[in-house]
Structure 1
Amino acid sequence: MAVEPAKDLAVIIPTLRRPESLERALRSVFAQTKALDRVRAVVVADNDPDGSAAPLIERLRHEAPVPLTYAHAPIPGVATARNVGLAATDAALIAFLDDDEAASPGWLAALLSAQAKTGADVLFGPIRGRVPKGTGWTTAYLERFFGRTGPTETGLTNDIHGCGNSLMVRATALPDDAPFDTAMNETGGEDDRLFTGLQARGGTFGWAADAWVDEFAPADRATLRYALLRAFAYGQSPSQMAADRGDRAGVVKWMLVGAVQSGLWGLASIAVAILRRPNRADVYDRLARGLGKVFWTKGFEPRLYGAAMLKRTV
């Protein structure tokens, strides 16, 4: 008699007032060609105080090939939404998909295969960035910005990425009831903080080369201004992580690195702006990341999520 596979996996999708893209994300999970027999639940963590995703979940529940769970996270914030999603399931393995992403048909199988091969506590996969028409000369930059690349082969990695398109072993990567720091609700970086702690505990990270998803940047995010604000926030991360570890020498090192980068890329930015070089967005991005390493303390953190994001969707 064949032994049925354990239903040990939950897919968590945080969402905030994006019904069309949320439905696309959900249907991409429903369409997985393998590994659905491992799925205990797909959890939608609705971060809208009004609970606007509930009707969609009710509509899709009857046609979902796996259990579909609605979890309301009424306090706006990306960390809160992730914590509420986790609280709605006791699955041993957690896959995160963002509501503006769509998974390829072999996504879950590729993540699970990579975890079995590497034994990593956290797995990341590649992302193809998609932006709306009309982004002009910034299109190629924005597609790279919203995308994610890595090695062509599956294996362990020292590189840390964001939660979107990831698989985590709950016992090691997500040991607490609320592992995502809600102090990062509006700035983001809750995943960096989580992974820094895991790294300090000796945790391991892996890359699932075939676990592809597409990320469809909405129009309000597919702008140079938004991308550079996020690039600045990404630049803050090394300095902030060193500070979280109590590594003062590391903070000084990253601030010095950032100062050098800011000077070099600042001059380059002036030159490419005058010449209107087609790659100037990439130069501006490097400048923003350098500045972020220098100006990493509270008060300089961009408000990109939580209540700030809620205002943009009104």
Structure 2
Amino acid sequence: MPPVAEPPTVSVVICSYTMERWDLLVNVIGSVHAQTYPVQQILVVVDHNPDLYKRLMETVRDAVIVENSGPQGLSGARNTGVGLATSELVAFLDDDAEAAPDWLERLVVFYDDPDVLAVGGRAEPVWEAGRPAHFAEELDWIVGCSHRGLPRVASEVRNVIGANMSFRRDVLLQVGGFNATLGRQGALPLGCEETEICIRSTIGTPGTRVVYEPAAVVHHFVPAARGTLRYMLSRSWSEGISKAQVSQLVGQKRTLGAERRYVRRVLPRAVLSGVSESVVERNLDGLSRAGAVLAVLAFTTAGYLRGRQLAHAEAEVSAPLRAQWREA
């Protein structure tokens, strides 16, 4: 009878950058301790905030508190956590995303398959002031949550969601970690570092997979300020810029395949549903949701085109320098 494999060990990395989320951060740490699956290590990485680091060191006794040793930003903080992790698997939580008790248990089960490199779960929004009438569930990616249109059962996907994801540690080390030129920096709503690292992880190993398990749930707090149309459009513009950056790194086809399906299948249903509601039920909320969907699509597209222009301009400027370096 073959020996039974030991369950993989897990380190959980929580990145934080602001004192304003203190109560949320404490709750997140508590939710990790309440997991039904044993956690070998909890790492709280503070992103260049000495006051927050000091308060955590003085207050929290049941986690390892470290400062980001890399560039400022979420990617640098995550890489610091990966470098200090001692487990086979590294799971990541945002400092405002509280995990359900069986969160890790549901993620870890997929690592029985050696071809699975990463597993992510569902991030459900917890709205500070209730979901705004104009904010369609199809747009929940704007606030870092799972959106309508994602698989309802465990499925292979291109990339996981940053607020709820896990990786084999050796995979993260092999690909060099998260790209520090991508990702959120403080309140600046850039992103797509999860997309890029998932694509990069699978490029060199055909047959490997990234899995989305919607039953592995975290509850992601969404402040009222992120429900405004102004934030939605700002985040959409930044998403377009970020997608352009990623397409330069790993190719347009790999970067935009999922987005094209989303635009063709998910968004038209959202617009039609909103318009239908406004006509049949005489409810203007439906019309406002449809309008917000179209505005978000327009701003994301514009951001992407602008990002491509910036990348092209940068390439033209750097080309002579690269030529000089080769000649030297």
What TM-score, normalized to structure 1? 0.74
Matches within 5 A, 1:18-167: 18-32=21-35, 34-36=36-38, 39-61=39-61, 64=62, 68-73=63-68, 75-116=71-112, 119-133=115-129, 136-140=132-136, 144-145=140-141, 146=143, 147-149=145-147, 150-154=150-154, 156-167=155-166
Greater per-residue helix proportion: 2
- 2:289 is matched with 279
Measure the CA separation in 2 of the matches of 1:157 and 1:136.
31
| 1:166 to partner: Cα distance | 0.7
Shift in Å at residue 238 of structure 1? 4.8
Match of 2:305 in 1: 294
State the number of aligned residues: 276
2:237 matches 1:232: yes
Q: Does the Cα contact within 8 Å between 1:123 and 1:167 map onto a contact in 2?
A: yes
CA separation of 1:296 and 1:162: change in aligned 2, threshold 3 A: farther
Q: In 1, Cα distance between the equivalents of 2:104 and 2:179?
A: 26
Corresponding residue of 2:192: 189
**Secondary structure of the structure 1 residue equivalent to 2:304:** helix
Work out the CA distance in 1 between the residues paired with 2:8 and 2:204: 28
Superposed CA deviations along residues 233-275 of structure 1, whole A, max 9, x for unmatched, are: 333455433321356xx59x99xx8xx99xx99xx9xxx8xx8
- Structure having the higher Rg: 2
TM-score scaled to structure 2, two decimals? 0.71
Change in 2 beyond 3 A, CA 1:142/1:52: farther
Structure 2 runs not aligned, ≥5 long: 276-283, 312-328
Aligned AA (1:160)? N
Superposition RMSD in Å: 3.6
Task: Report the alpha carbon displacement of residue 116 of structure 1 after superposing the two structures with TM.
Answer: 2.4
What SS does the aligned partner of 1:229 have? helix
Show the counterpart of 1:207. Answer: 212
What's the offset of the Cα at 1:136?
4.2
CA-CA distance at 1:117 after TM superposition: 5.3
Q: Mean Cα displacement is larger for which, 156-165 or 124-133?
A: 156-165
Question: Any idea what SS the aligned residue of 1:48 has?
Answer: coil
Moved more, 203-212 or 222-231: 222-231
Quote how far apart the aligned CAs of 1:287 are: 1.8
After superposition, give the CA deviation of every residue in 1:160-215 in whole Å (9 maximum; x if it has no partner): 23322011012224425x51122225433322221221132134211223101111
Taking the aligned partners of 1:194 and 1:175, their CA distance within structure 2 comes to 11
Structure 1 unaligned spans of 5+: 301-314
